[in-house]
Structure formats: structure tokens, C-alpha cells
Amino acid sequence: MRISVIGCGYLGAVHAASMTSLGHEVVGVDVDAEKIARLSAGEAPFFEPGLVPLLQQSLASGRLRFTTDPAEAAGAEAHFIAVGTPQSADGTAADLRYVDAALDALLPILREGDVVVGKSTVPVGTAAGLAARLEGSGAVLAWNPEFLREGYAVKDTLHPDRLVYGVPQGAGGERAAAVLDEVYAATLAEGTPRIVADYATAELVKVAANAFLATKISFINAMAEIAEVTGADVTLLADALGHDARIGRRFLNAGVGFGGGCLPKDIRAFTARAEELGRGHSLAFLREVDEINLRRRQRMVDLVVESFGGRPFGRRVAVLGLAFKPESDDVRDSPALDVAVRLKGLGAEVVSHDPEAMGPAGRMHPQLAYAASAEEALRGAEAVVLVTEWREYRDLDPVATAALVDQAVILDGRNVLDAAAWRAAGWTYRGLGRP
Ligand code: UDX
């Protein structure tokens, strides 16, 4: 099938390459000429494991190309909208200008029977408005949310947990579902569950899933706050809770909390949308989820300040990690970067390291010092702060690391180190929500 993908950021670039690997002929369109040049050369504009080989294979097949000209999307049967929906500059709602612009670009080239497929995360009700704009074009709109995780984007796109199609009633809806079934034929053949729903349900699945995940993380971080005043250990608590199959252990890791380009903005946009709908009270708890999450960053900073007897000024702190999570170079709303910036703001001499995210972090915060290696960041440190749980940091040897630093004090913001082993090597170890 001929497919176009409008927007070649995280979602769109991965989607375009993945759809090519399923056998389709794909054109990726983006307004950013530099991004298009890099993708056309088989380079990924961001770090994502597995994307470069997939991109190169797909380009080599001759069935994938990238362009800045939306007219080249003409002739495709399915047009995916994969542009960003960031938090708006003047509030917490989602900024839909890129979605609107994508539809504007498609309108002149749509033919009878084409299917426009929204993948971007949007406030519930958006699809109905876009469908109204398509009236008279002969094209039909489907909403097909994406659940990919950064770091696993290729796997999540090719082998998703489920496929959700939001379609209208009647012949248009049947046409849309049939086209999507053809797009995802290989995925469906693996037995992937497929749920066909109305637009509103499809839009809600995405934000509800992210709201649930954010709530799960803030739940365990709230338990960490209780553990901190009772002497309990939140990691053991999570293990014990996780054995209950109804609860499950995943997403119960307490620490500096969630960040990234999705969870924080999605729960805020969802709350803003509920308020518009007169149901603000239904999602009032998400404000609490957000606040618990943001408090954990400050708790981390407070622990560092405490380790300096309340006087962090001029003290050297090694910050290990900048990305919002491992296997990503994304620093959007990153708790790790936030902790580094706050410590710097208190006058500490912060030296940061991250295996992948130092470029993006440096562009956003040139005032921070970035070390070429973890070893360089650690040398002479008076406190070590682990805020992104990269394998490289989890594997640090406490004895060898002690020889590098000035003061053997480690603050484990992700609760991933073996506290006993670090203490045995002479370290003062503190986790978040651990005694
Ligand atoms: C998320 C959703 O998982 C994905 O389905 C959706 O499509 C986009 O948003 P992503 O932003 O890539 O994906 O990250 P995710 O793996 O969900 O982690 C989000 C944040 O939560 C990270 O900062 C991570 O460090 C944090 N986290 C995760 C915790 O603090 N504790 C946990 O137990 C799990």
C-alpha cells in the first residue's frame, strides 16, 4: 500500500521506517529541511535503538523516501498524521497548531476513498472537528493512537500490545478499518488485539493509558514519602505489592519520578480538557499526581543539600544522567536535568554526564558543565547523584568509584544500586524512600 506520514519526529520517523519494513511504499513529509536531509541519508535525528539499521534497510529497499513537499503525499491511500502536540506556551492545554497545519497540507491532495489517520496524542473531541473539516474531500478520518515508548519505539511500532481504530459509523468507517487492516496486516497476523471504536474512545485510550501510568508512578512515590518518615523501604514495598497480579510490579519504581515528552504534558492536557468539558473534578487527582511527581525532584535536591550540612555553595556534585530515562537522549521535562539545574542554581559546582543526552542538554542548559566520561564527572566529587539509570551507572563498581571521588556520598535517585554493597565499600548511600 502507498502510505504518507506527515511529521517525521519521534513518532513519524519510526512509523515511516516501520511501515516500509512491513512491505509498504512510504513517503515521509516534514517542514524541517535539515531533518528530511538527515533521514534521507539514513541518519536518525535523535537516539533510538534499532532505528538507524531499520531506516537504512528501508531506504535501500527503494520504498521509503523523505521530502519537505506535501504534494508528494498525493497518491497514497493512507495518510498518517504524526506531528507533535506540545503543551501550549500559555497554559497546560495541548497546542494543536501542527495537527491543523498537517490537515491543511493534505486537503489539496486528498482523493475519494483516501484515509487520513491521526496518530498524534490529542484532546478528546479533536478528531470529530478534523473529520468535519474533511467533509467534501471524499476522504475519511480514522484515529489510531500510538503507544510507543522511547527506547523501544521500533519494537512497539512493529509489535504493539494492541491496535485501536477510532472510526465513524457507516461505510466510511468500514473503509477506514479495511485500509488500516491492510496497513497492519503483518501485525494482525501475529495475533495483536484490535479494538474498533468511535473517535472519542480512541482518543481517550491514549491519554487514559498515560494518566494511569503516571498515577502508578506517583502512587509509589507517595509511598516513598511515607516510607521516608516511617523507616520503611519503598523498594521492598513495591516488590511485595507487585506479587499481587492485580497490581503488578511494572511502573512501581520509586525515584525522581516521570518526565519526557509524553506523560507530563499528556496529564496536564487531559486535565485542561476535562475542565473545558465541565468535568474538572473527575481528573482533579491528576494535579496531585503531577505535584507528587515534581516534589520528588526537590526531595533529591534536598538530600544533596543535607549531605553538605545545608551549604551546597561551591561543593562539587557529579550528576549521573540527564535523559528522562535510559536508552533515550530526550531531555524534555527530564527530572535528571531538572535536578542538575536546581543544584547549579544553589551554587553547587555541578558536573554532569550522560551517555547520549549531553548534546540536547547542553543546547538547553549551556551553563552546566558536561564531562566526557562518567569517570571524569566522578573525579573529585563531594557527592554523587544518580538520576537516570543507564546500565553504565548501575554497573559502577563501588570500590573503584570510591577511589575517584573526594567524598564517598551517593544519592540514588532511581533506587537501582545495591545499597549494602555500596555501604560495605565505605559509601554513605541514600535512596529515595529507603532507610
Ligand atoms: C510513555 C508511555 O509509556 C508510552 O506508552 C506512550 O506512548 C508515551 O509515553 P515514554 O515517555 O517513552 O512512554 O516513557 P516511559 O517508559 O513510560 O517512562 C516515563 C517516565 O516514567 C520516565 O521518566 C521514567 O523514568 C519514569 N518511570 C517509569 C518511573 O519513574 N518509574 C517507573 O516505575 C517507570
User: Residue whose CA is closest, atom 7 of ligand 1?
Assistant: 147
Pocket of ligand 1 (CB under 6 A): 147-150, 210, 213, 217, 251-253, 255, 257-260, 262-263, 324-325
Query: What confidence tier does 2 reach under pLDDT thresholds 50, 70, 90?
Result: very high
Ligand 1 atom nearest residue 328's Cα: 12
Which residues, 6+ apart, have CB-to-CB distance to 373 below 8 Å?
Answer: 353
Of 317, 302, 404, the closest CA to residue 352 belongs to 317
Name the CATH superfamily for 2-197: NAD(P)-binding Rossmann-like Domain (3.40.50.720)
pLDDT tens profile 93-107: 999 999 999 999 999
CA gap 99, 68 in Å, rounded? 16
Rounded to the nearest whole angstrom, what is the distance from the C-alpha of residue 330 to the centroid of ligand 1?
12
Rounded to the nearest whole angstrom, what is the distance from the C-alpha of residue 263 to the centroid of ligand 1?
7
Domain boundaries, the chain: 2-197, 212-431
User: Residue whose CA is closest, atom 18 of ligand 1?
Assistant: 258
Ligand 1 atom nearest residue 252's Cα: 33
The mean pLDDT value of the chain amounts to 97
Q: Quick one: pLDDT at residue 64?
A: 98
Cβ-contact 164, 195 below 8 angstroms: yes
SS (H, E, C) 255-316: CCCCCCCCHHHHHHHHHHHHHHCCCHHHHHHHHHHHHHHHHHHHHHHHHHHHHCCCCCCCCE
To test ligand 1's pocket by mutation, which of 213, 249, 338, 389 has the most ligand atoms within 8 angstroms of CB?
Answer: 213
To test ligand 1's pocket by mutation, which of 11, 51, 87, 149 has the most ligand atoms within 8 angstroms of CB?
Answer: 149
Rounded to the nearest whole angstrom, what is the distance from the C-alpha of residue 13 to the centroid of ligand 1?
20
User: Residue whose CA is closest, atom 9 of ligand 1?
Assistant: 262
Q: Which fold would CATH assign to domain 212-431?
A: Rossmann fold (3.40.50)
212-431 shares the fold of 2-197:
yes
User: Residue whose CA is closest, atom 33 of ligand 1?
Assistant: 251
User: Residue whose CA is closest, atom 13 of ligand 1?
Assistant: 149
What is the identity of the amino acid at 23? Answer: G
pLDDT tens profile 164-191: 999 999 999 999 999 999 999 999 999 9
User: Residue whose CA is closest, atom 34 of ligand 1?
Assistant: 251
The dihedrals phi and psi of 8, each to the nearest 5 degrees, come to: -120, 45
Ligand 1 atom nearest residue 148's Cα: 7
User: Looking at the annotation, which residues are catalytic?
Assistant: 262
Taking residues 330-339, what's their average pLDDT?
98
pLDDT tens profile 249-303: 999 999 999 999 999 999 999 999 999 999 999 999 999 999 999 999 999 999 9
pTM: 0.96
Rounded to the nearest whole angstrom, what is the distance from the C-alpha of residue 221 to the centroid of ligand 1?
14
C-alpha cell belonging to residue 183:
496497513
pLDDT tens profile 344-357: 999 999 999 999 99
